Amino acid sequence: MARCSVRYAGRLESRLDEALRLIMVKADGCVAIHADGGAYKPLNWMNAPNSLAVADGEWIVSNTKGETLTITLHEVLMDSEHHLGEDPGLAKDGVEAHLQELLAALPHTIEEGLTLIRREHATAIGPVDLLCRDRNGMTVAVEIKRRGEIDGVEQLSRYLEYLNNDSSLTKEHGAVRGIFVAQVIKPQAKTLASTRGLGCVEVDYDALRGAKPDELTLF
Amino acid sequence: MARCSVRYAGRLESRLDEALRLIMVKADGCVAIHADGGAYKPLNWMNAPNSLAVADGEWIVSNTKGETLTITLHEVLMDSEHHLGEDPGLAKDGVEAHLQELLAALPHTIEEGLTLIRREHATAIGPVDLLCRDRNGMTVAVEIKRRGEIDGVEQLSRYLEYLNNDSSLTKEHGAVRGIFVAQVIKPQAKTLASTRGLGCVEVDYDALRGAKPDELTLF
DNA sequence: GTGTATATCTCGGGG
DNA sequence: CCCCGAGGTATACAC
């Protein structure tokens, strides 16, 4: 805890005038300077790996990209050190990967008669979440998001543009169409999807999980 | 500093097994739980506004959206409180807004003969950074980024699609074309821009600032 | 290393 | 409140 002023020069330049702040240095060397409010993001920081030079009330933290964080200490209120050891880490449930996993197992919940061809179908411009076949034999690209917003529609549009230029896919089954799947889809995203000729489906994560309680108990 | 285990239930669910961690509570009530590494992002957190219920070695932090963070304290190593007061705040230079400001004052550096019509031209799908007129009287939409990547090209494409459906603009001056401006533009973004018929211009922030040293000394 | 997508993104501005 | 865009985004993962 210290009264300090700070300067950062790197990807941009910034300046912090003198005030009381918390300076946190972690075991990996990363540095964060926190005010007494404003959520978890520090005012300034320097990620590991970096090097710390301490000299006469001034800390200079620099990394290999030529970025520097200069902390001038005007008054130190408290200086405390603790060794925490390795953290067992955070276990999560409900991220996009889990939603994708469920939908890959239950493609018919997206659209009746839909079957899975491949998950994470690789293309030069990124992976297509699900590649499916519909009841009429048409190929369907599915983009999955937890929250359906405009950039997800753009992403699906890009994939379709790419897939429809891939003759190995189209010569046998014709054009590829797209379905945008999310737990909630914002009105703007729905509008854009419809002007692009894309389908929109909203799904319920808990209901999906309930449909496969045996093998998908992640928690 | 405490040996603790944590559970979060809200936008997703997560679990942290027992370990030594730093628990930070700021003046606005926000809570963050840090491991001894891993940059500035905490393992778990709860933003303000929230309410904290303390009961017998267990903290329950909840907000109005029904999210809860449950911290079980197994052993407290240190408990320290400091009042830091208001922070004077962070002053920045070199963000996109400054680049836009410079380019609005110096549109001819993007393309010879280009003049500014309007900055932050509002549309239903978001603001167009610069709307300009070229030497031939054609309307030009300019999208500005610090770093030119694919999503910036998508953004500009969306705006052009919208503007070219706006008859009040097109009936007098014809179609609107687009220029993508950034300090550096990635090869992929250049390729996509060219297939979409968009211009690409890379600009030098420091050189631009040098061209207007009088009124634009921000720092 | 670049390129792409995700995030309890965070944060701020405008309607 | 939502929508939209910027961020020193950070972070993970594939190529």
Burial class (CB in 10 A: 0-12, 13-18, 19+), A112: exposed
Reference B46, options B23, B24, B30, B66; nearest CA is B30
Model confidence at B58: pLDDT above 60: yes
| Two tokens, residue A75 | 């008054």
Model confidence at B175: pLDDT above 90: yes
Note the pLDDT of residue A219.
Answer: 46
Q: Which tens digit of pLDDT belongs to each residue from A128-140?
A: 999 999 999 999 9
Cβ density class A184-208: b for 16+ within 10 Å, e for less:
ebeeebbebbeeeebbbbebebeeb
Model confidence at B119: pLDDT above 50: yes
A56 interfaces chain B, CB cutoff of 8 Å: no
Phi then psi dihedrals of residue B147, to 5 deg: -120, 125
Nearest chain A residue to B96 by CA distance is A12
Number of alpha carbons in the 13 Å side-chain half-sphere of residue A214 = 1
Model confidence at B22: pLDDT above 50: yes
Note the pLDDT of residue A215.
Answer: 54
Note the pLDDT of residue B219.
Answer: 45
Helix, strand, coil % in chain A, rounded to nearest 5:
25, 40, 35
Note the pLDDT of residue B218.
Answer: 44
Note the pLDDT of residue B216.
Answer: 45
Residue B150 approaches strand C within 7 Å at CB: yes
Per-residue confidence in pLDDT tens, chain A, 219 aa = 999 999 999 999 999 999 999 999 999 999 999 999 878 899 999 998 999 999 989 999 999 889 999 999 999 999 999 999 989 989 998 888 899 999 999 999 999 999 999 999 988 888 999 999 999 999 999 999 999 998 899 999 999 989 998 777 788 889 999 999 999 998 888 888 988 999 999 999 889 988 875 554 444
B17 interfaces chain A, CB cutoff of 8 Å: yes
| Average pLDDT in chain B | 90
Indicate the residue type of A129: D
Q: Are B45 and B33 in contact (CB under 8 A)?
A: yes
A47 interfaces chain B, CB cutoff of 8 Å: yes
Cβ density class B27-44: b for 16+ within 10 Å, e for less:
eebbbbbbbbebebebbb
Pairing relationship of beta strands A199-202 and A176-185 according to DSSP bridges:
parallel
- Cβ atoms within 10 Å, residue B74: 12
Residues of B in contact with A83 (CB under 8 A): 36
Reference A161, options A192, A189, A129, A198; nearest CA is A198
Q: Which tens digit of pLDDT belongs to each residue from B67-116?
A: 999 999 999 999 999 999 989 989 998 888 889 999 999 999 999 999 99
Tokens 């401006």 -> residue: B181
List the alpha helices (DSSP H) in A2-129: 96-105
Task: Please answer yes or no on whether A11 and B94 come within 8 Å at the CB atom.
Answer: yes
The pLDDT > 70 percentage for chain B reads: 97
- DSSP letters, B70-133, are EEEEEEES------------EEEESSHHHHHHHHHH-GGGTSTT-EEEEEEE--TT--EEEEEE
- Please report the residues numbered 187 through 216 in chain A whose beta carbons come closer than 8 angstroms to any beta carbon of chain B: 188
Reference A190, options A130, A205, A199, B157; nearest CA is A199
- Please report the residues numbered 63 through 102 in chain A whose beta carbons come closer than 8 angstroms to any beta carbon of chain B: 77-78, 80, 82-95
Band of the pLDDT at B53, cuts 50, 70, 90? Answer: very high
